[in-house]
Amino acid sequence: MKFIQTFILTLLCACLVYFGFIYVSQIDQVKKTASPQKAAKENDTALAAEETRSMKKAETTHHSLKGSKKAMDVILYNQMDAPRLYNGCEVTSLAMLLHYSGYEQVTKNALANEIKRVPLNYENGLKGDPHDGFVGDMENGPGLGVYHEPIYQLAKKYAGDQVVDLTGKPVKKAIYQSLEKGYPVWVITTSTFDKIDNIETWHTPNGKIDVSFNMHSVVITGYDKEHVYLNNPYGEKNQRVDRDQFEDSWEQMGSQAIIII
């Protein structure tokens, strides 16, 4: 009898050990199966977080701008067309801007006749200030050019409060956001559309200013990630220019920009 009791007790212990081993094995298998799924889920979460961070970072850069679907169809005027304006890129570009805004009868030569002018050289040795008016001879030279203030005042004679001077604003706001809204932009840049090293310091009635005979005015008609597109009054429509180089030249010339809304 004692032998039978001992046998039964031993059998029960063996069963408990056996089923306990099976239970532990199943738990371990569940953990092994769940671990890859958990890892995959954690990886997906990390990727989503990284994508969100990247999107937020992109919003702070110029790459977040939409870009122009295509360059705007702004009429091209050539400053060298008769009657020639040898140094008249600023008023020629303004004529393009006005035409796009509905002022189609305004010609480059009409604007040349209306723009305020100042001498290239005064008798006392001072130089003309392009902030005051066109410096020198626009039609045949010698002449320098004119900055945004006189152009802004001249544009207002036609378009009134629709004219907006964005000079001094960051390139994103002054140029790229304007283009996205459908507004071409009058600007001052350089004839090479890149930074230049032939900057001169002039003494004018208003004090010292930095100028260059390589200054040039165009109308910006579009942009993408790598380029800007512009109407060049030397005779090229929607000319493609390296974007970074253009930005450097535009900023070097004082970040001058005007739109008509």
- Model confidence pLDDT, tens digit, residues 243-261: 999 999 999 999 999 999 9
pLDDT of residue 108: 99
Q: What is the DSSP letter of 191?
A: T
Say yes or no to pLDDT of 176 above 80. yes
Q: What is the DSSP string of 71-133?
A: ---PPP--TTSSSP-TT-HHHHHHHHHHHHTT-TT--HHHHHHHS-EE-SB-TTSPBP-TTTS
Per-domain residue ranges of the chain? 2-60, 66-260
Mean pLDDT across the chain: 84
Average pLDDT over residues 100-116: 98
CATH code reported for the domain at 66-260: 3.90.70.10
Neighbouring C-beta atoms of residue 156, cutoff 10 Å: 14
pLDDT of residue 134: 99
More confidently predicted of 191 and 41? 191
Distance (Å, rounded) from C-alpha 203 to C-alpha 69? Answer: 45
Distance (Å, rounded) from C-alpha 239 to C-alpha 250? Answer: 16
| Residue 223 neighbours by CB under 8 Å, 6+ apart | 67, 68, 175, 176, 179, 229, 243
Q: Which of 241, 220, 238, 227 is nearest to 174 (CA)?
A: 220
Spatial contact of 158 and 231, defined as CB atoms under 8 Å apart: no
Beta strand 257-260 with 185-190: parallel, antiparallel or unpaired? antiparallel
pLDDT of residue 252: 98
Average pLDDT over residues 74-79: 99
pTM of the full structure: 0.76
Spatial contact of 258 and 166, defined as CB atoms under 8 Å apart: yes
pLDDT band at 177 (very low <50, low <70, confident <90, very high): very high
Say yes or no to pLDDT of 14 above 60. no
Spatial contact of 229 and 238, defined as CB atoms under 8 Å apart: yes
Spatial contact of 114 and 175, defined as CB atoms under 8 Å apart: no
pLDDT of residue 220: 99
Residue 203, beta-bridge partner list: 208
* Weakest-pLDDT range from 9-13, 17-21, 74-78: 17-21
Distance (Å, rounded) from C-alpha 148 to C-alpha 164? Answer: 11
pLDDT band at 217 (very low <50, low <70, confident <90, very high): very high
* Weakest-pLDDT range from 29-43, 87-101, 104-118: 29-43
Using one digit for the tens of pLDDT, what is the confidence trace for 228-241? 999 999 999 999 99
* Weakest-pLDDT range from 10-19, 48-57, 136-145: 48-57
